[in-house]
Amino acid sequence: MNFDEIIDRRGTNSSKWDGMEKSIGVSAEDGIAMWVADMDFRAPDFLQAATQQLLDQANYGYFTGVDAYFDAAAWWMQTRHGWAMDPSWLFVTFGLGNGIGLALQSLTEPGDEIVTFTPVYHEFARRITKGGRVVRELPLQTDENGLYRMDFDHYDTLMSGREKMVLFCSPHNPAGRVWTQAEIDAFADFVVKHDLLVVSDEIHHDLTFPGQKHLPLHVAAPQLEDRLIMMTSASKTFNIAGARTGLVAIPNPSLRAKYGALYTALDMSPNLHGVRLSQAAYSTEGAEWVDALNQYLEENASHFINRIDAIPGLKAMPMQSTYLAWVDFAGTGMERAEFASRVADTARIGTTPGHSLGSGGETFLRFNLGTPRARIDEALTRLQSAFSDLQ
């Protein structure tokens, strides 16, 4: 496992690299891609072997074997997260965005309000509005340690009574906040009080740093089980997003039937390559690789934060998981257009604009640290130069 190896993804139709200039105006020829949430590491041997095995069979027709994938996923949830997941609850989707869209369409009505805790993964708002629903933003606060927290007393005053569902991100994207048992208890009370369904996006759950522990909502809040739709995937953990395979767990038979009816109507057959890769990922080899990855990502985060915080006007939020750093530029005193231009046009770094993640993100940029440390060092050197006049 050599996470320091530089892999040149240019010219491979990578969204992150080859799509950067069209999307955000930074060319991959001289730019550093730190926006799309996938990683730049070489695929581990066990995933390459699974792909080779598929190639060697030399026929790619209709297939069975999804049950073996479900069994592997259930083993993974039990051994990694202490959750006895029932395979009969499961659906395979074309990623989590697709899974969220199915939940919104099958379990809510047009015009219903959907709660999000902002700033948060931008696909939440997009899926809600494109589906004819209404976003109800509840702003995250910052605690004395600089971490995001939820303020439910305040949120009670913001609710309209028209909310039907909440999209919960755990761990949180951006910044990788790992919610505690006390926070989940308060969240569960809020959900029951306002009679909400819960879509829990737990796709970053395997990427917690050493010393941190993700609490699956099914385990931490069993009182929510009848209203819970949990979503995850091997795609974030093992960098196989291109295989377009997500996993949805719905314990409640009534909700599962409604979700399943739309799923069937849309002919949601799983992807052969995605199922094979995901099954191979959920293994003892996969567990060893993830443990090494998390150690490397934590070191990346610590290194990045220390150097960012040394640049006057810049402040990175502490990270507890994943590889999506959240940097506040408010201290520069600049308007968003100016600090964003310095990062994109001067430093030639492609990032995700904070305002796209909803209220509270206006002064932030999100940086992807799922890349070799030498590339992070180059980005940091460019940022120091771009903001050198503030020294």
Summary mean pLDDT of the chain = 97
Kind of pairing, strands 315-316 and 90-93? unpaired
| Domain segments of the chain as ranges | 19-44+286-390, 58-283
Helix (H, G, I), strand (E, B) or coil at 36: coil
**Residue 26 in this model has a pLDDT that exceeds 80:** yes
Task: Evaluate whether the domain defined by 19-44+286-390 bears CATH number 3.90.1150.10.
Answer: yes
pLDDT reported for residue 365: 98
pLDDT reported for residue 82: 96
Per the model's pLDDT, the better-predicted residue between 261 and 1 turns out to be: 261
pLDDT reported for residue 269: 87
Question: 211 and 246 in contact (C-beta within 8 Å)?
Answer: no
pTM of the complete model? 0.96
Question: 354 and 325 in contact (C-beta within 8 Å)?
Answer: no
Helix (H, G, I), strand (E, B) or coil at 185: helix
Give me the count of residues in the chain: 391
Q: Tell me which fold the domain 58-283 belongs to.
A: Aspartate Aminotransferase; domain 2 (3.40.640)
pLDDT reported for residue 38: 97
Tell me what the mean pLDDT of segment 37-53 comes to: 97
Q: Express each pLDDT in 271-291 by its tens digit.
A: 999 999 999 999 999 999 999
Asked if the domains at 19-44+286-390 and 58-283 fall in one CATH topology, the answer is: no
Q: Express each pLDDT in 153-196 by its tens digit.
A: 999 999 999 999 999 999 999 999 999 999 999 999 999 999 99
Tell me what the mean pLDDT of segment 209-232 comes to: 97
The model's confidence at residue 65, banded by pLDDT at 50, 70 and 90, is confident
The model's confidence at residue 86, banded by pLDDT at 50, 70 and 90, is very high
Calculate what percentage of the chain has a pLDDT beyond 70.
Answer: 100
